[in-house]
A and B are shown apart, each in its own frame.
Chain A
Amino acid sequence: MSVTVTDQKTRASSGPPRLLGSRSRWLAYGIGLLLVIVFFSFATEDWFSIVNYTLIAAIAALSLNVLSGYAGQVSLGITFFMAIGAYTAALLGGTPPTTPLDPQGFGLSFLIWLPAAGIVAALAGALIGPVALRLRGFYLAIVTLALVFIGQYIFMNIAPLTGGPQGRSFPTPGFGDLAFNQQNDYFGIALTAGQQYFLLILLVLVLSALFVANVMRSRAGRAFRAVRDHEVGASIMGVNLFEAKMGAFILSSFLAGIAGALLASYTSYVTPDYWSLTLAIQFVAAIIVGGIASVWGSILGAAFVFGLPQVIDYFSLLPTSSNSGGLTSGNLNALIYGALIIVFLLFEPEGVIGLIRRVQSLMRKTNRSNAEGGEPAEIIDLSSAPASRLDVEDAAPVNGDGE
């Protein structure tokens, strides 16, 4: 191992941490799967809508976590890459234009446009990365912020692709005549629109999560974290800073493209100003609330930042909108959202995941004090703990050097 920045100080076994962890984790996955099946069988379409949006947001949050969480490169420009993915999907999968004013579309299958969305966004990342990644910290944040505005301007002005200010419709995934936005029979099983989308989105999310988790326990993933924790240190250790940052940037853009395509497809009609700075900031908030540099953190963060507001809208008795002030459910959500960011940054910088881990270690401590000779148990527990963890104290020097 040339890079020795490991997140865990003690590890029972040598070699990289296991991707999926121990038997107790498998049990947790089993319960999770059961919950998914129960949800899938009994949820109403409204709930599918909430969950599907949240899962798509989780893919985007995961993408941002690769760049900002693992590799430490602050980006406010994720929506730019999501838009690139979405418009790639629209061009390849959209219905062919019937009048000259309609936006372009080739009507291809989602099996082509979904991966293509990721690939084109990754290419855009590869082009922009060398320019953007010359800068660090606040400067990178401001440049990626500019990217969002420049992107919106470009998308507004290429009407044949984006529909211009009026926006355009996005393709629906499906197999042949079976489009996902209506109820279809598959081998005698009737699936609603929400269920079909749910299966597709969940599949993409699980694949992305496994992929990211796998990269992060590899040499490349260790390099990302080394760059985040201490650039000079990483480069002395033999990490090629540029390569590591570019790798994170491209991987992140790829996932952002896929998430953008899914989001636009699920929303079905989107105008260029949808890909806004506000949306980008929501993803940053998601990884902060959920947990920086953590796959599960991205998913939990998306649930808090994107799922919770929809649930509050659904249940709260407040009016949904008002012109003359007063508390609406939208305002309440914005307040909760702003407060979540501040509270988590102040009191639990590792996010919900950090909170869960703290509870776990507390339980472990009580277990150990109850049972005698608890030492081996601790080692097993450590090896089963999720590999990623941002030590904020470790990351602090990045702030202060290079000046």
Chain B
Amino acid sequence: MAYFMQLLFAGIAQGCIYALIGLGFSIIFKASEVINFAQGELLLVGAYVVSAGVFEWHLPFLLALLAGLVVTILIGLLFERFILQRMIGRPVFSILMITIGLDIILRTAVIIIWGSKPIPAASPFNTISGINYAGVHFGANDLWTIAITIALCAALFYFFRYTRYGLAMRATALDQEAALAVGINIRTIYALAWGIAAAIATVGGVFLAIDSFAIDPTFGGAALVAFPAIILGGIDSISGAVVGGIVIGVIQILTAGYESHVASVLGAGIHEITPYLIMILILLIRPYGLFGTRKVERI
């Protein structure tokens, strides 16, 4: 039972990271109906800048985090303003590929600047410390991940519900033309969405890095696991991204923890694909996800 609880806790922590990544996808999709395939590389750039800030430039962690936030937000804003704005009204295929183009350039830039060897992850707390309770070890980094995710979600919830810009973003997502008609500046909204998503990417990247102790340039691929999370939760739903992320995280860690018991039947590494299997299942029975709007494109 302790083993199960331990896995469950690890799964929730892992799921919070997926949720942070998924939030980035959701916010951009909600505002502009674009799935940003470069989200994973924004994560990578954020994590690298923070690590480099701490270990190469010897900044205090918070200052390094600030540097990471500034860099990713700048990349997000510039990409949105100078590239994506010109792609409005183009086929899905083209928009998808242009974010993949950004993805490739960002990853290559990281490799050129920092090399392909792993570098250590920056962390504001001692990663080995934690609390032991009822035979379960609650690691400090996992607890922090969960706490920060909850805090960020609360902040986003407040933002979308009570602030002027948050409401404007929701209005834009609901009906672009109506939003324009009531005087909302759509360009500001898109920029805001990309800025928030890029900032969340840095936070997610830092936690993902802490989770695996080191980062290397292949690290952005982890963001792909957030796709099942957002599909499960509903691609345009903020709370869906969080719930989806946690469910996927828990299922993945549980399969990883128990797959050795049934490895002869399923083969090794099934936990790598369980999120995708769940996603396909969800897409077949409920393509708009648990919390999404029922308007998914379907024949």
Contact = CB atoms under 8 A, between A and B. Distances in A.
Interface residues of A, number: 56
B97 interface: yes
At the interface, is chain A mostly helix, strand, loop or mixed?
helix
A18 interface: no
A74 B100 CA distance: 13
B245 interface: no
Given A281-B100, A285-B97, A345-B98, A399 B90 contact: yes
Interface stretch (A9-17, A84-92, A93-101, A128-136): A128-136
B114 to A, nearest CB: 6
Interface in B96-110: 96-98, 100-105, 107-109
Contacts of A337: 104
Contacts of A400: 89
B104 A392 contact: no
Nearest to A288: B97
B296 A153 contact: no
B100 A284 contact: yes
Tell me which of A146, A340, A398 has the highest count of chain B C-beta atoms within 10 A of its own C-beta.
A146
B94 A345 contact: yes
B217 to A, nearest CB: 10
A398 B297 CA distance: 10
Interface string B265-299: 00111101100110110011001000000011111
Contacts of A392: 90-91, 94
A131 B284 contact: yes
B255 to A, nearest CB: 12
B86 A346 contact: yes
A325 B90 contact: no
B133 interface: no
Contacts of A322: 115
Interface in A145-196: 145-146, 149-150, 153, 156-157
Given A149-B273, A325-B115, A342-B102, A136 B299 contact: yes
B151 interface: no
B52 to A, nearest CB: 11
Contacts of A149: 224, 272-273, 276
Contacts of B298: 134-136, 139, 402
B114 A335 contact: no
B297 A135 contact: yes
Contacts of B93: 68, 72, 74, 292
B112 interface: yes
Contacts of B129: none
Among A150, A231, A241, A325: residue with most chain B CB under 10 A: A325
A145 B283 CA distance: 13
A347 to B, nearest CB: 9
Interface string A280-319: 0100110010001000000000000000000000000000
B96 A141 contact: yes
A241 B299 contact: yes
Contact of B116 (A141, A143, A231, A323): A323
A396 B91 contact: yes
Contacts of B90: 345, 349, 392, 396, 399
A338 interface: yes
B273 A398 contact: no
B273 A341 contact: no
A346 B299 contact: no
A150 B273 contact: yes
A341 B98 contact: yes
Given A138-B235, A338-B105, A341-B101, 5 more contacts: A134-B299, A139-B231, A139-B297, A153-B269, A156-B268
12 contacts: A134-B283, A134-B298, A135-B298, A136-B297, A138-B35, A142-B279, A146-B273, A156-B268, A325-B112, A325-B113, A331-B112, A345-B94
What 7 A-B pairs come out closest when comparing CB atoms?
Answer: A157-B267, A338-B104, A341-B101, A325-B115, A146-B276, A338-B105, A136-B297
Interface of B: 33, 35, 83, 86-87, 89-94, 96-98, 100-105, 107-109, 111-117, 224, 227-228, 231, 235, 267-270, 272-273, 276-277, 279-280, 283-284, 287, 295-299
